[in-house]
Structure 1
Amino acid sequence: MAENTKNAGPAALLAVEGIETCYGLSQVLFGLSLSINAGEMVSLMGRNGMGKTTTIRSIMGLTPARSGAIRFAGVEARGLPSYRIAKLGIGLVPEGRQIFPNLTVRENLVAAAANRLGARDPWTLEKIHALFPRLAERGGNMGNTLSGGEQQMLAIGRALMTNPKLLILDEATEGLAPLIREEIWNCLSMLKARGQSVLVIDKNIEHLTRICDRHYIIERGRAVWSGTSAQLMAEPDLQHRYLGI
């Protein structure tokens, strides 16, 4: 099966080209490339341990790629410190959520609030509360008292409060109760309708193919396939081979 990599526009918001990333002497990514255009929602799929989180960490500069290019909004980001990459306009919802446990819900949300890029309709505390009413109800509670689902809502809200050009979610619904998962997927659908660019990692193919424009499948540190939802659903053998379905 030939790899399909012809979907990127000439001026992609995020362009990752041929990156190689290692942890010490152990190489994890081998010439991986992907792109996201403005307003697109793109998924990164693959079995556990294939390099999805390392890809995110490379984009964010947390585990710097040793070669290749990472361009965001026309700026070469590879080699920049993580805080400068975030300031370019990338909001990360990391695996495990990583909220501030000793701050209240409201303090978590306002701590990183900014509109550095001058968004015309910026996210505010009121808009986050409208998106996730539970966060308004728990505003005075400490972060470490929240349920897993509430922490994920808080992590998404915190990232949106930076008014990012690109939102990245690593394991968007992992470990969450079914009702909370539905709430997260509804949130992502709303963000897509708003025109928010999103890169999402998750295992729920049904939801991903419903809301994402394109998909990348990663296998042992390489992007082995990319295409649209219709193309992915038309290839059940592909899903079985790379996703274990």
Structure 2
Amino acid sequence: MPDAAPLLEVENIETCYGLSQVLFKLSLSVRSGEMVALMGRNGMGKTTTVRSIMGLTPARAGTIRFGGQDIRNLPPFRIAQLGIGLVPEGRQIFPNLTVRENLVAAAGNRLGSPDPWTIDKIHALFPRLAERGPNMGGTLSGGEQQMLAIGRALMTNPRLLILDEATEGLAPLIREEIWSCLSMLKARGQSVLVIDKNVENLTRIADRHTIIERGRAVWSGTSEQLIAEPDLQHRYLGV
């Protein structure tokens, strides 16, 4: 079972792009060993939430704590060094580096994990990356790039892994591979914050969910609670 103390605490954050406010007193948390899903329709503020956590679009108000430390005003590189690995929307792999170079570019075990991720372990997780090792990142398919983005984040041996749009735009077989990967990570005890639209898979593997609507958290609860409320799914998650 996950530890009781939150690893990530986001409390009442407000974030703007210029004069346009996107997040309104948004709160969520992820405990150690827990997988939490952030859900909502397009344009509701999910990616802005991730950008606020990572310091890429700093929140102007509220509190963001990671491992008990206030990180709201830290630069992104410091936040990453504290142990947050990001798989960004759009993947953003390095197109002019090989697959192997992408994996080792930011690799490290700064936090001294006793069982760190290595190239061999990433290859075991995604055998396709072993096959494509010498290839340039820009030549990979979308699914392979997503595997590479996940592998690159894991190579930093993060305490928390954040995936923004984990399976968006991927072929069905690749999606299943990503969901299998996330199930394995959860079994390994990896703390995860995942954004995706697949309610069925999210309720199968995530512990808790926060639904966001127009920059506000409108519902939080367990998978069992979300499954029991189809009207809620239709209201906030239906197309």
User: What TM-score, normalized by structure 1, do the two folds share?
Assistant: 0.96
Letter in 2 for 1:175: G
Between the aligned partners of 1:23 and 1:220, the Cα distance in structure 2 is 14
Which of 71, 95, 102 is matched with 1:101 structurally?
A: 95
Counterpart-to-counterpart distance in 1, 2:58 and 2:216? 17
State the partner residue of 1:57.
51
Of 184, 188, 204, the residue aligned with 1:190 is 184
Say if 2:233 is the partner of 1:239.
Answer: yes
Structure 1 residues 28-56: Cα deviation after superposition (integer angstroms, max 9, x where no partner): 00000000000000000001100000000
- The answer as to whether partners of 2:37 and 2:210 remain within 8 angstroms in 1 is yes
Deviation digits for residues 159-199 of structure 1 (CA, Å, limit 9, x no counterpart): 00000000000000000000000000000000000000000
| Structure 2 gap segments, 5+ residues each | none
Q: In the alignment, what sits opposite 2:137? A: 143
Distance in 1 (CA, whole Å) between partners of 2:173 and 2:231 is 30
- Answer yes or no: is 1:133 the counterpart of 2:127: yes
Q: Are the aligned partners of 2:3 and 2:33 in contact in 1 as well (CA < 8 Å)?
A: no
User: For 1:121-170, what per-residue CA distance to the aligned partner results, in whole angstroms no more than 9, with x for missing partners?
Assistant: 00000000000000000000000000000000000000000000000000
Match of 1:36 in 2: 30
CA distance in 2, matches of 1:240, 1:224: 14
Residue 18 of structure 1 aligns to a residue whose secondary structure is strand
Matched residues in 2 for 1:46 and 1:145: separation?
Answer: 32
Work out the CA distance in 2 between the residues paired with 1:150 and 1:242. Answer: 31
Aligned position for 1:5: none
The answer to whether residue 206 in structure 2 is matched with residue 215 in structure 1 is no
Among residues 69, 72, 80, which one is paired with 1:75 in the alignment?
A: 69
Q: Shift in Å at residue 11 of structure 1? A: 2.3
* TM-fit CA distance, 1:10: 5.8
Contact 2:13/2:27 (CA < 8 Å) preserved in 1?
A: yes
State the match for 1:3 in structure 2. Answer: none
Residue 217 of structure 1 aligns to a residue whose secondary structure is strand
What's the TM-score, normalizing by structure 2? 0.98
2:118 equivalent in structure 1: 124
- In the TM superposition, residue 9 of structure 1 has moved relative to its aligned partner by 7.1
Give the Cα–Cα distance (whole angstroms) in 2 for the partners of residues 72 and 45 of structure 1: 21
Cα distance change on mapping 1:150 and 1:56 into 2, 3 Å: same
Q: What is the CA-CA distance between 1:65 and the residue it aligns to?
A: 0.1
Distance 1:231 1:42 in 2: 14
Q: CA deviation at 1:236?
A: 0.6
**Structure-1 residue corresponding to 2:169:** 175
Q: Secondary structure at the match of 1:163?
A: coil
Structure 2 counterpart of 1:243, one-letter code: L
Structure 1 residue ranges without an equivalent (≥5): 1-7
The Cα shift of 1:244 comes to 1.2
Q: Percent of counterpart pairs with the same letter? A: 84
Correspondence for 1:113 among 96, 100, 107: 107
Residue 19 (str. 1) matches residue 37 (str. 2): no
Give how far 1:74 is off.
Answer: 1.1
Asked if 1 retains the 8 angstrom alpha-carbon contact of 2:3 and 2:32, the reply is: no
Per-residue CA deviation, residues 48-77 of structure 1 (Å, 9 max, x unaligned), is: 100000000000000000000000011100
Question: Which letter maps to 1:14?
Answer: L
